[in-house]
Amino acid sequence: MEIKELTRAEEQIMQVLWQLQKGYVKDVIDVLPEPKPAYNTVSTIIRILETKGFVGHTAYGKSHEYHPVISKDQYQNFATDKLMNGYFDNSVKRMFSYFVKKEKIDLKEADEIMQLIEKLKEK
């Protein structure tokens, strides 16, 4: 199954569903930050996510309990591949250099990354 890119609003709803693992629209709204979006807005976004294959539901009468179909790891892999291919020519070195130049990585994180690389070399 091909994973589609999420809009910002869809990704915010998915983050909540990944956290909850399952829930009703009101459960999702409860976790969202203030100002809370309208019930119909969240309900519509969840139905769009269902159409895109990210969310499934279990019906209990007229109520629907929603759950993620695509895991956070699966979407993370998709988003990382898209970022790597689209902006860094599939080069970890270029991506790492970018984050270092933008000061998004501190020395402690850089050291941890170098230790991970050393462990990979040993294998």
For 37, counting Cβ atoms within 10 Å of its Cβ (0-12 exposed, 13-18 middle, 19+ buried), the class is: middle
- Whether residues 17 and 62 share a domain: the answer is yes
In a domain, 81, yes or no: no
In a domain, 106, yes or no: yes
Percent of the chain scoring above 90 in pLDDT: 58
Domain carrying residue 106: 90-123
Q: How many C-beta neighbours within 10 Å does residue 82 have?
A: 12
**So what's the pLDDT on residue 85?**
86
In a domain, 83, yes or no: no
Count: domains in the chain:
2
**By the 8 A CB rule, do 46 and 13 touch?**
yes
How high is the mean pLDDT of the chain?
90
In a domain, 77, yes or no: no
pTM: 0.78
Q: Compute the 3-state secondary structure of the chain and give helix, strand, coil in percent, each to the nearest 5.
A: 60, 10, 30
pLDDT tens digit sequence for 23-82: 999 999 999 999 999 999 999 999 999 999 999 999 999 999 999 999 999 999 898 888
